[in-house]
Structure 1
Amino acid sequence: MADLRSERPAGPMAPMLLPWLTGLGTGMVFLHFVQKLLFPYFWDDFCFLLKVVLNGFRVKRYQQRGELVTVLDKFLIQAERHPRKPFIIYEGDTYTYQDVDRRSSRVAHVFLNHSSLKKGDTVALLMSNEPDFVHVWFGLAKLGCVVAFLNSNIRSASLLSCIRTCGPKALVVGADLIEAVEEILLELPKDVSVWGMKDCVPQGIISLKEKLSASSDKPVPRRHHLVSNLKTTCLYIFTSGTTGLPKAAVITQLQAIKSSAGLWAFGCTADDIVYTTLPLYHSAGALVGIGGCVELGATCVLRKKFSASQFWSDCKKYNVTVFQYIGELCRYLCKQPKMEGEKDHQVRLAIGNGIRSDVWRQFIDRFGNIKMCELYGATEGNICFMNHTGKIGAVGRTNFFYRLFFKFELIKYDFQKDEPMRNEQNWCSCVKKGEPGLLISRVNARSPFFGYAGPYKHTHKKLLFDVFKKGDVYFNTGDLMVQDQDFLYFWDRIGDTFRWKGENVATTEVAEVIGMLDFIQEANVYGVAVSGYEGKAGMASIILKPNKSLDLKAFYEQVVASLPAYACPRFLRIQEKMEMTGTFKLQKYQLVEDGFNPLKISDPLYLLDNVGKSYVPLTKELYDQIMLGEIKL
Structure 2
Amino acid sequence: MTTLQTDLSPTAIPPRVSSTAGWIGALARTARIDAHPERIFPLVLDAIAAERAGAPALIGTDETLSHGDLAARRHRYARWALAQGFSKGDTVALLMPNRPDYLAIWLGLTRIGLRVALLNIHLRERGLAHCIDAAAPRLVIAATDLAEALEGAWPHLVSQPALCWQGEGAETSLATQSAGFSGEPLGPEEAPTVTLRDPALLIYTSGTTGLPKAAHVSHHRIMMWTHWFAGLVDPGPDDRMYDCLPLYHSVGGVVAPGSVLLGGGSVVIREKFSARRFWSDVAETGATLFQYIGELCRYLTLAPPDPQERAHSLRLCTGNGLRPEVWERFQARFAIPRILEFYAATEGTLSLYNVEGRVGAVGRVPSFMARRSPALIVRHDVTTGLPLRDAEGRCVPAAFGEAGELLGRLSDKAEYTFEGYTNAAESDRKVLRDVLKPGDAWMRTGDLMRRDAQGYFYFVDRIGDTFRWKGENVATTEVAEALARSEGVAEACVYGVAVPGADGRAGMAALTVGPGFDLERLHADLVERLPSYARPLFLRLTEELGHTETFKQKKAVLAEEGYDPARTGDPLFLDRDGAYCAIDPALYARIAAGTLRL
Fold match by TM threshold 0.5: yes
Q: Distance in 2 between matches of 1:227 and 1:425?
A: 48
Deviations 1:178-220 (A, max 9, x none): 111111224435561111113535xxx9643443455554444
Name which of 81, 99, 108 aligns with 1:111. 81
Q: Distance in 1 between matches of 2:498 and 2:122?
A: 24
Structure 2 match to 1:277 = 244
Corresponding letter in the other structure for 1:184: A
Structure 2 match to 1:183 = 152
Structure 2 match to 1:328 = 295
Name which of 377, 385, 399 aligns with 2:352. 385
- The structural deviation recorded for 1:228 is 5.1
- The structural deviation recorded for 1:56 is 3.5
- The structural deviation recorded for 1:269 is 2.1
Q: Give the SS at the match of 2:416.
A: coil
Cα pair 1:199 1:210 within 8 Å, conserved: no
Corresponding letter in the other structure for 1:455: N
Structure 1 match to 2:56 = 86
List gaps (5 residues or longer) in structure 2: 1-16, 468-475, 485-489, 501-545, 583-598
- The structural deviation recorded for 1:320 is 0.8
Deviations 1:359-417 (A, max 9, x none): 11001110114200011111111111111111111111134322111122111111122
Structure 2 vs 1, CA of residues 528 and 386 (structure 1 numbering), >3 Å: closer, same or farther?
A: closer
Cα pair 2:349 2:417 within 8 Å, conserved: yes
Q: Distance in 1 between matches of 2:126 and 2:31?
A: 45
Select between 134-143 and 155-164 the one with higher mean Cα deviation.
134-143
Deviations 1:330-384 (A, max 9, x none): 0011111113453221101001111011111001110114200011111111111
Q: Distance in 2 between matches of 1:534 and 1:382?
A: 32
Structure 1 match to 2:423 = 455
Name which of 251, 257, 270 aligns with 1:290. 257
Q: Distance in 2 between matches of 1:563 and 1:270?
A: 31
Structure 1 match to 2:334 = 367
Structure 2 vs 1, CA of residues 411 and 570 (structure 1 numbering), >3 Å: closer, same or farther?
A: closer
- The structural deviation recorded for 1:229 is 3.3
Name which of 198, 203, 219 aligns with 1:232. 198
Q: Give the SS at the match of 2:299.
A: helix
In percent, how many aligned pairs have the same letter? 32
Cα pair 1:439 1:480 within 8 Å, conserved: yes
Q: Select the structure that is richer in helix.
A: 1
Structure 1 match to 2:439 = 471
Structure 2 vs 1, CA of residues 338 and 243 (structure 1 numbering), >3 Å: closer, same or farther?
A: closer
- The structural deviation recorded for 1:44 is 4.8
Name which of 37, 48, 51 aligns with 2:22. 48
- The structural deviation recorded for 1:84 is 0.3
Structure 2 match to 1:73 = 43
Structure 2 vs 1, CA of residues 213 and 73 (structure 1 numbering), >3 Å: closer, same or farther?
A: closer
Q: Distance in 1 between matches of 2:116 and 2:406?
A: 30
Select between 453-462 and 532-541 the one with higher mean Cα deviation.
532-541
Deviations 1:312-332 (A, max 9, x none): 111110111111001001001
Structure 1 match to 2:411 = 444
- The structural deviation recorded for 1:97 is 1.0
Cα pair 2:112 2:194 within 8 Å, conserved: no
- The structural deviation recorded for 1:101 is 1.8
Structure 1 match to 2:104 = 135
Q: Please tell me whether residue 482 in structure 1 is matched to residue 440 in structure 2.
A: no
- The structural deviation recorded for 1:437 is 1.0
Q: Any residues of structure 2 matched to 1:605-624 within 5 Å, and which?
A: 606-607=567-568, 616=569, 618-620=571-573
Structure 2 vs 1, CA of residues 418 and 346 (structure 1 numbering), >3 Å: closer, same or farther?
A: same
Corresponding letter in the other structure for 1:86: P
Structure 2 match to 1:29 = none
- The structural deviation recorded for 1:625 is 14
Cα pair 1:527 1:538 within 8 Å, conserved: no
Give 1 or 2 for the bigger CA radius of gyration: 1
- The structural deviation recorded for 1:305 is 0.3
Q: Please tell me whether residue 120 in structure 1 is matched to residue 89 in structure 2.
A: yes
Q: Distance in 1 between matches of 2:451 and 2:66?
A: 44
Structure 2 match to 1:169 = 138
- The structural deviation recorded for 1:240 is 3.9
Structure 2 match to 1:57 = 31
Cα pair 1:78 1:97 within 8 Å, conserved: yes
Corresponding letter in the other structure for 1:320: A
TM-score norm. by structure 2 comes to 0.76
Deviations 1:39-85 (A, max 9, x none): xxxx955433423432343224435xxxx211101111111111100
Cα pair 2:40 2:195 within 8 Å, conserved: no
Name which of 250, 260, 263 aligns with 2:230. 263
Q: Distance in 2 between matches of 1:243 and 1:573?
A: 13
Structure 2 match to 1:418 = 385
Structure 2 vs 1, CA of residues 209 and 183 (structure 1 numbering), >3 Å: closer, same or farther?
A: farther
Tell me how many residue pairs correspond in the alignment. Answer: 498
Cα pair 1:293 1:299 within 8 Å, conserved: yes
Cα pair 1:126 1:171 within 8 Å, conserved: yes
Q: Distance in 1 between matches of 2:275 and 2:399?
A: 40
Deviations 1:406-436 (A, max 9, x none): 1221111111221111122221101111111
Q: Give the SS at the match of 2:437.
A: coil
Structure 2 vs 1, CA of residues 418 and 98 (structure 1 numbering), >3 Å: closer, same or farther?
A: same
- The structural deviation recorded for 1:284 is 0.4
Corresponding letter in the other structure for 1:51: G
List gaps (5 residues or longer) in structure 1: 1-42, 499-525, 544-559, 576-595, 608-615, 627-633
Structure 2 match to 1:248 = 214
Cα pair 1:275 1:301 within 8 Å, conserved: yes
Q: Distance in 2 between matches of 1:160 and 1:387?
A: 38
Q: Give the SS at the match of 2:393.
A: coil
Deviations 1:239-283 (A, max 9, x none): 147853211111111110011120332332232111101111111
Cα pair 1:79 1:98 within 8 Å, conserved: yes
Q: Any residues of structure 2 matched to 1:574-589 within 5 Å, and which?
A: none
What's the C-alpha RMSD, in Å, of the aligned pairs? 3.4
Structure 2 vs 1, CA of residues 228 and 150 (structure 1 numbering), >3 Å: closer, same or farther?
A: closer
- The structural deviation recorded for 1:155 is 1.3
Structure 1 match to 2:536 = none
Structure 1 match to 2:505 = none
Deviations 1:83-140 (A, max 9, x none): 1000011116421011112222333343333x33112211111111111211211221
Q: Distance in 2 between matches of 1:574 and 1:321?
A: 43
Structure 2 match to 1:145 = 114
